[in-house]
Chains A and B, each alone.
Chain A
Amino acid sequence: MKKAIFAVLLSALAAAPSVQAAAPVAKAVTPADDLKLYRSYFMKKFPGLPLDGYANGVYAIDRASRDGWEAIEEFPPYEPFVEEGKALWNKPFKNGKGYKDCFPGGPAQNKNFPYFNKVRKTVITQELAINECLQANGEEPLKYGKGKIASLLAYMAFESRGQKTNVEITPESLEAYNKGKQFYFARRGQLNFSCAQCHFQSVGQRIRSDILSPALGQTTHWPVYRATWGDMGTLHRRFEGCLEQVRAAPFKLQGEEYRNLEFFITHMSNGIPFNGPSFRK
């Protein structure tokens, strides 16, 4: 049964427009079709787990690890980072302006990202928007992955709690979406693994002592304080880590590949509330 559903997922990928040349008769698969298929896969796998619950990653599907996590969340290790991020947000640039001038809605921005910029024909993530804001104001951009950018994101995420994921795919952004999708389903690295083999096909199973989290909900709670890092990190830092695990060469943080990937997996979580920052093992 499990196998059968995964075969459907794979054939859905094969029918993606970008590879349709090989199968011209196949009906185009829309992002809405994908959403339905992915959700039905997980809903069958974890009956009784409501959509919102997926925001908690592996802790939504494993009772034992959830207990420890809830205890940690009572004195969250990301709190000082939220504080630092708040100070960064409020500190004026040398020209007297500040982040609020780039983000008129205030720090609660999660629901607006990522989005596709039609003019520039590229996916804009929150990190990219932050650095473009800095550069437009004559400031040095921040290093991606961790450090100040993670603190700033932690504050913005905290302020965005309760907003819902809402990525819109339009005809213009379909190509970026499909590239992200292909990335997700392609095997890579010396260990020859795809993201989907771990986070769809093997979800809930153990790889050594780690229980694999569902792909659904993987984008709602960033940045994350990871015990393994002893530090705060961004979603792209995690992409890098997962690729390292399969001994694949990582890509540039905030490069086109990871931004397309983020676009694809965030769309999958449409409707799930943001609850970052968060703690993960």
Chain B
Amino acid sequence: MTNIKTNALRWGLKGAVLFTLILPLGAPGPAQAAEAGATTPPPGKEIAFDRKLGNCLACHAIEGGDSPGDLGPPLAAMQQRFPDRAKLRAQIADPRKFNADTRMPPFGAYKILSDQEIDLVVDFIHKL
């Protein structure tokens, strides 16, 4: 996965990349959770990777995700790029705020993800 790091650096970044991902084994998948009408959403990583939820891999390379797209920059070294967590959240909730011509879907504004799901995705992404 060094190429994620290199690519991230190519997008104009400096500094070390933190990888602290542990997939919680045995956690209910998003589909199961939805079926059971459960109120606890799946962990941020699952929301980010699930094609029916965040599907961030469609456009972003993320450590641990297979065959990512490249419409957007690799998501790595996020704390350096987004020291302000609120700004990262805003980027995911409504990227149009930062780029009117963006190709990233407005996950919050168009209710693709719930507020709580976005918070969980931010938790996950910010540690990358």
A-side residues, CB < 8 A to B, are 3, 6-7, 10, 190-193, 197, 201-202, 205-210
CB of B105 within 8 A of CB of A191, answer: yes
CB of B69 within 8 A of CB of A190, answer: no
Residue in B55, B57, B67, B71 whose CB lies within 8 Å of A202 = B71
11 new A-B contacts, CB < 8 A, other than A3-B101, A209-B67, are A190-B111, A191-B105, A192-B106, A193-B103, A193-B105, A206-B70, A208-B55, A208-B57, A208-B58, A209-B69, A210-B69
The A contact surface, by secondary structure, is mixed
Bound-complex Cα distance A6 to B100 (A): 13
> What string of 1s and 0s marks CB contacts (under 8 Å) between B82-110 and chain A?
00000000000000000001010110001
CB of A192 within 8 A of CB of B67, answer: no
Residue in A3, A10, A192, A207 whose CB lies within 8 Å of B59 = A207
In this assembly, does B68 line the interface, its C-beta being within 8 Å of a C-beta of chain A? yes
Q: A205-B70, A208-B68 are in contact. Are A190 and B58 (CB under 8 A)?
A: no
Q: From residue A134, how far is it (CB to closest CB) to chain B in Å?
A: 40
Residue in A10, A192, A197, A207 whose CB lies within 8 Å of B69 = A207
Q: A192-B110, A207-B59 are in contact. Are A197 and B103 (CB under 8 A)?
A: yes
In this assembly, does B112 line the interface, its C-beta being within 8 Å of a C-beta of chain A? yes
CB of B71 within 8 A of CB of A192, answer: no
Residues of A with C-beta under 8 A to B105: 190-193
Residues of A with C-beta under 8 A to B68: 206, 208
CB of A190 within 8 A of CB of B70, answer: no
Residues of A with C-beta under 8 A to B112: 190-191
Q: Which of B26-80 contact A (CB under 8 A)?
A: 55, 57-59, 67-71
